[in-house]
Amino acid sequence: MSTSEKSGYHHGDLRAALLTTAMQMLENGEAFSLRAVARNAGVSPTAPYRHFPDRDALEAALAVQGFSDLKHDLTDGHDLPTSIADLAEFGVTYVDFALRRPALFRLMFGNPCDDSDDERVKAADALHELLGQALAHVAPEADTTALACAGWSLAHGLAFLHLDGKLPADSPEAVADRVRSAFLAITTIQGEPGNRRRS
């Protein structure tokens, strides 16, 4: 055991230190393994295995942190939306998070869902629940499950269109205006499916 492990980390502190180091490496574009994270954190090569049996477990923990951070961004200093314009700001925040933290965002959503990972499932569910609550607040009479899927799809699609260069990310202001316009445009569609007559 290294000196830093003996003097610098308690059991809980070691896990937090490893996650902090791994997050920094991820967001700096550094390829990381458990050994690389251990080296950068200043602990022995075997230390991470006390908390993460493999790299997948470490990445899952980073995804959990990402979901928590995104939820914080969506709720920090904000009440639940009461209008479509407020809801559009949810979309702006979502896309902004993706563009500010692209590596983490891709990690959060780039892997198949693992129902056996309770913490990751709970973190993702908490985000989905927040989106559902927001939509229920704006449209209490609507099918909030369908609306939540539609709203998330719109924000998520816009996030990846910008990340993948299909839409320009010239400036945060330009991106925000595009997201607002997309949300507001969708709400102008009138009528229900099946109401149009075929010629």
What's the pLDDT score for residue 14? 92
- 9 and 78 part of one domain: no
Counting other chains too, the contacts that 156-163 makes at CB distance below 8 Å and 24 or more residues apart are 156/94, 156/109, 158/91, 158/95, 158/182, 159/94, 159/95, 159/97, 159/98, 159/99, 159/105, 160/98, 162/95, 162/98, 162/99, 163/98, 163/99, 163/102, 163/105, 163/106
- Give yes or no: residues 154 and 107 share one domain: yes
**Domain identity same for 102 and 149:** yes
Looking at the structure, tell me whether residues 75 and 97 fall in a common domain. Answer: yes
Reported as a single tens digit per residue, the pLDDT across 109-134 is 986 666 666 888 899 989 988 988 88
From 164, 176, 3, 21, select the one nearest 96 (Cα to Cα): 176
User: Residues 83, 158: one domain?
Assistant: yes
Same domain for 105 and 27, yes or no, is no
Residues 20-69 have pLDDT tens digits of 999 999 999 998 899 999 999 999 999 999 999 999 999 999 999 999 99
CATH of the domain at 95: 1.10.357.10
| Residue 87 sits in the same domain as residue 159 | yes
Note whether 173 and 92 are same-domain residues: yes
- Residue 161 · residue 182 · CB < 8 Å: no
> Is there a single domain that holds both residue 97 and residue 37?
no
One domain, residues 177 and 93: yes
Same domain flag for 90 and 179: yes
Residue 26 lies in a domain: yes
Q: Look over the chain and give the mean of its residue pLDDT values, rounded to a whole number.
A: 86
Domain that holds residue 33: 3-50
Query: What type of residue is 90?
Result: F
The CA distance from 40 to 32, in Å, is 10
Is the pLDDT at 191 greater than 50? The verdict is no
**Residue 113: inside a domain:** yes
Instruction: Tell whether 38 and 70 lie within a shared domain.
Output: no
Q: How far apart are CA 73 and CA 75, in angstroms?
A: 6
Q: How many structural domains is the chain composed of?
A: 2
Q: Which of the pair, 194 or 127, is modelled with greater confidence?
A: 127
Tokens at residue 174, please?
């330009």
